[in-house]
Structure 1
């Protein structure tokens, strides 16, 4: 059934008014109950962590196994389905080439070997996230520690956030993803058809004092920490070494930095 713009905005407003904090219990895989993240639940470490950020050390990703390891670490704990085709693909962290990663970073003098490298791609958890502004229900929101996350329960599938994100970091469930989950994690909510999803920054691990799953599996290829802390490793790298970010000209201020110096990228 189609609705006009006025009807859509009225319904979106009603959903926003009804969703006033608290945790939502939703039905998970095979009828099990799991708790979804609340849009108004403050992280336990909000007073100490000011700005989570990630550095991708490009030199550490030398083989297909290096990429597969971090992708599978994320997929397995977040119930990410494998549809077996790119048309329905759900991506939280993935591999892509230079052209698609840094499409607007044209430098005719850049080393040709660097242009041939694959790169780890994920949500940039921008300081100025356009997806948050585009979401009419508050399903997408930015935490006090800088993580841009989602409450799947609130998502109405309008896909405004997908149109607003300049990095292609969001996926839409055109089909029921649950039958395509290879290894089910009962502690993380599954999604339903008509719901958008993305990397949530492993909020459930951060609040236990753990590193994101991809970082833990990367063998030093991904460095994660508080960018506002002068003593953190990410701050030291960004302050003293050459790093680049994606589409900085758009002003979203990505929190993912690519370290391109150091070891040779042969």
Structure 2
């Protein structure tokens, strides 16, 4: 067994003034939403034919509600329904942790639909912009998971960079949160950035969104091989984890969306 790297214990509370406390986890959400919003504005200004970029100021509220409500509802339904069925009031205690990316994604998809209808823009044109910015939030969120010492990886006694997490027992484990921050955050952001710059993809919206769905799904499936399954679920069908089972439809939907968008004629924006 190789010597494990000491986990860098960081106080999960970033700022505390009396009874008022702000956690790094909350700051990660705020940073992801605000920086993502500014990036969406930058992208929308390069697609002014679809809707007024200034309208994205209103979308911040839609997206925040979609992320928080969808993420929490998804966690309750996908990961711990029996527990919350017995303790329904705890489902409201978001500050205690427990969010699902897949649930948050469904919430954002609904938010995109409401916003696109309001501004009269094609759903997939708005979706491409939001999808390109989503890895920003994923990056900060996974760093916050690392700071909290949660969602750690499987035991890896022979991996030189393995860490002993405070809540993970004495065994050194994969820092899977950092793997996800790198793949779902940095790598996926860079790939989508390159795609979003291509003029032909702007004319056939849906391809950037499809690339996000397929890319995230593939990266999540890979990282789940290194991430410790949720204790209350363990391994499911065929030895897969819940994260993997939820990601398979994402990959298929993403590939289907790319194929559909490529077959369609170039989008003709509505006159404004």
Between structures 1 and 2, the one with greater helix share: 2
- Asked if Structure 1 and Structure 2 have the same fold, meaning a TM-score greater than 0.5 normalized by the shorter chain, the answer is no
Give the TM-score range, shorter chain.
Answer: under 0.3
Calculate the TM-score normalised by the size of structure 2: 0.24
* Higher-Rg member (1/2): 2
Structure showing greater relative contact order (alpha-carbon pairs closer than 8 Å, 6 or more residues apart): 1
Between structures 1 and 2, the one with greater strand share: 1
